[in-house]
Amino acid sequence: ENEGTMKRMEIRVTRGGVDAPKCVLTFTEASFPSYVTEDLLREKFEAPSAAQSLAWPSALSGRDVVAVAETGSGKTLAYVLPAIVHVNAQPVLAPGEGPIALVLAPTRELACQIELEVAKYAASSQLKHACVYGGAPKGPQVKALKSGECEICVATPGRLIDFLERGVTNLRRTTFVVLDEADRMLDMGFEPQIRRIVSQTRPDRQTLLFTATWPVEVREIARTLVRNNPVEFRVSGAG
Ligand code: ADP
Ligand code: MG
């Protein structure tokens, strides 16, 4: 069903970071809990993409990740599945607490696409999720987010800041943070919002940054926000 939707590319992989875990070549080798593997095998994908085979073992072992990988390299599942495993490993939530995992993305369209993937894989473990973005009524988003109801939040930075300032939610227990399309978020001027949001998450969080390009602005945000001995890799089409 999904055949052909992921770009076929010749892959050149470079990797850095101290003691980077070995990459996985099959879905079962990734050692996800069975509820994830079963959902994943149902997709009938041939094999993990390069971004997935590199990101999964690192993210599942609790390492931070910095990944430079072009569009179409399967980045969404590279972080969504480890996010779900992470959330399921946390203690039952206390009332009044906000999301455990937070994904920041540049646009409403992208955030909604990501939430669809989250929804697909969150169902088997009944995780609650919300999608927060501008240009739409706040009511339903507030309802989805309301303390204690949302474990995974996908958000564009502007609307999330608004909700944080109004006390709709908080990031006091957020221990898994993803910056997706970091380069586009910075191009759109979201750097101050990103920094403010991430500063409200827990200092012992796991942080994953995904980007298609690697300009100095992205390197700087990676250096300052992804601080825990990250595994770094680059996946690019060769020619
Ligand atoms: P990116 O964020 O890197 O641009 P996406 O995560 O949006 O890429 O994935 C692009 C497409 O590839 C999606 O349609 C997705 O369902 C599909 N896909 C993801 N992982 C695989 C895989 N391992 N094999 C084949 N297709 C995949
Ligand atoms: Mg993407």
Q: In the structure, how many helices (H) and strands (E) does the chain have?
A: 9, 8
Residue whose CB lies within 8 A of the most ligand 1 atoms, among 49, 114, 120, for a mutation test: 49
- ipTM above 0.85 for this complex: yes
Taking the centre of ligand 1 as the mean of its atom positions, its distance from the CA of residue 105, in whole angstroms, is 16
For 96-112, how does the pLDDT look when each residue is reduced to its tens digit (9 = 90+)? Answer: 689 999 999 999 999 99
For 192-224, how does the pLDDT look when each residue is reduced to its tens digit (9 = 90+)? Answer: 999 999 999 999 999 999 999 999 999 999 999
Q: Which ligand is nearest to the CA of 80?
A: 1
Residues sharing a CB contact under 8 Å with residue 32, sequence separation 6 or more, in sequence order? 40, 56, 60, 81, 85
Ligand 1 pocket, 86 CB below 6 A? Answer: no
